[in-house]
Amino acid sequence: MKFITKITAIAALSLALATSTATLAFAAAKTDFKVAWSIYVGWMPWGYAADSGIVKKWADKYGITIEVTQFNDYVESMNQYTAGAYDAVTLTNMDGLSIPAAGGVDTTAVIIGDFSNGNDAVILKDKKTLADIKGQSVNLVEYSVSDYLLNRALESIGSSEKDVKVVNTSDPDMVGAFQTADVTAMVTWNPMVSEIAALPNATKVFDSTQIPGEIIDMMVANTETLKDNPSFGKALAGIWYDTMAVMTADTDEGKAARTAMGVASGTDLAGFESQLASTKLFDKPADAVAFTTSPDLSATMDKVRTFLFDKGLLGSGAASADVIGIELPDGTVLGDKANVKLRFSSQYMDMAAKGGL
Domain ranges across the chain: 9-114+216-353, 120-210
Convert the pLDDT of each residue in 217-233 to its tens digit: 999 999 999 999 999 99
Convert the pLDDT of each residue in 172-204 to its tens digit: 899 999 999 999 999 999 889 999 999 999 999
Q: What pLDDT score was predicted for residue 28?
A: 57
Convert the pLDDT of each residue in 3-40 to its tens digit: 332 222 323 323 333 333 333 334 457 999 999 999 99
Q: In the CATH scheme, what is the homologous superfamily, with its name and number, of domain 9-114+216-353?
A: Periplasmic binding protein-like II (3.40.190.10)
Under 8 Å CB-to-CB from 17, ≥6 apart: which residues? Answer: none
pLDDT higher than threshold 90 for residue 143:
no
Please provide the average confidence, as pLDDT, over all residues in the chain: 91
Q: For residues 274 and 279, give the distance between their C-alpha atoms in angstroms, rounded to a whole number.
A: 9
Q: What pLDDT score was predicted for residue 184?
A: 97
pLDDT higher than threshold 50 for residue 132:
yes
Q: Which helix (H) or strand (E) holds 111?
A: strand 107-116
Q: In the CATH scheme, what is the homologous superfamily, with its name and number, of domain 120-210?
A: Periplasmic binding protein-like II (3.40.190.10)
Contact criterion met (CB below 8 Å) for 194 and 271: yes
Q: Which of 303-307's residues contact partners 24+ apart within 8 Å by CB, and which partners?
A: 303/214, 304/93, 304/94, 304/97, 304/148, 304/214, 305/97, 305/334, 305/335, 307/94, 307/148, 307/151
Q: What pLDDT score was predicted for residue 317?
A: 85
pLDDT higher than threshold 90 for residue 256:
yes
Model pTM score: 0.85
Query: How much is the average pLDDT of 157-172?
Result: 94
Q: Would you say the CATH fold of 120-210 matches that of 9-114+216-353? A: yes
